[in-house]
Amino acid sequence: MPGIALVRKPGPRISEGIVTHLEREPVDHQLALEQHERYVAALEEAGWEARHVEPADDLPDGPFVEDMVVVSDRLAVLTRPGAKERRPEVASVAALVQELGIKSVRIARPGTLDGGDVLQVGRTVYVGRSGRTNDEGITQLSALLPERQVVPVDLNGVLHLKSAVTALPDGTLIGDPARVDLPGLLVPAEESGAHVVLLGGDRVLMAASAPRTCAMLQERGLNVTLVDISEFEKLEGCVTCLSVLII
């Protein structure tokens, strides 16, 4: 399963990143850099080839690359972020996608779409209606992925769909039923336990802030790698936000 992981190092203005549902806290740039390096190392240890998007020191939210592109069946859908300040982040991600030889298409005005609102589970694509993703963006994504079943999902008090729910290797959805109304949710022990990156096979990546959920998933037979991303969590970031995995 492992392939390419798109990532981008946090720039010196990361503490200025957009905060919507949390109280702003100071962010330590040096610690964020160290945490990002360990995050990338965890991906590489699992067999993923890390490819770094061009640095964007003037764009505080730059390390949250997931929001800039959705990759499905080797088609890259370049997004149109709902936050205008983040739209300049797309160009450098698009350049790397082109360098990798992946066909790309774009979400167009008036549609808005953040990659953090897109959860792919098998042939189903759940898309959150959020402050960053509108109905037009969802409609365009559905048209661009005709072989997938696109399912809009309403959210409650959370930035992105994948801030509330992700999926385990067997397709089980893990998330907070107070934030998202989806059937059959496995409820994590901590809020950050809803965020799982699939590394291949039974391996998953989670935040160190979810140790009880980690133990729960280990009891289900999963091989869990924990990484500390505390500085990114202060900006409503999670483990899924910091990479785009391309098989």
Q: Which residues are catalytic?
A: 160, 241
For β-strands 149-154 and 124-129, DSSP reports them as parallel
| CA–CA gap between residue 31 and residue 227 (Å, rounded) | 13
Instruction: With beta carbons less than 8 A apart as the criterion, state whether 199 and 226 touch.
Output: no
Backbone phi and psi for residue 137, each to the nearest 5 degrees, phi listed first: -65, -40
State the burial class of residue 229 (Cβ atoms within 10 Å of its Cβ: 0-12, 13-18, 19+): buried
Q: Which residues contact 63 (CB under 8 A, 6 or more apart)?
A: 7, 8, 9, 10, 11, 14, 32, 36, 232, 237, 241, 242
Instruction: With beta carbons less than 8 A apart as the criterion, state whether 54 and 91 touch.
Output: no
Residue with tokens 């088609």: 75
Element (H, E) at 219: helix 211-219
Instruction: With beta carbons less than 8 A apart as the criterion, state whether 52 and 8 touch.
Output: yes
Residues forming beta bridges with residue 103, ordered by sequence position: 75
Please give the radius of gyration of the chain, using alpha carbons only, rounded to the nearest integer: 16
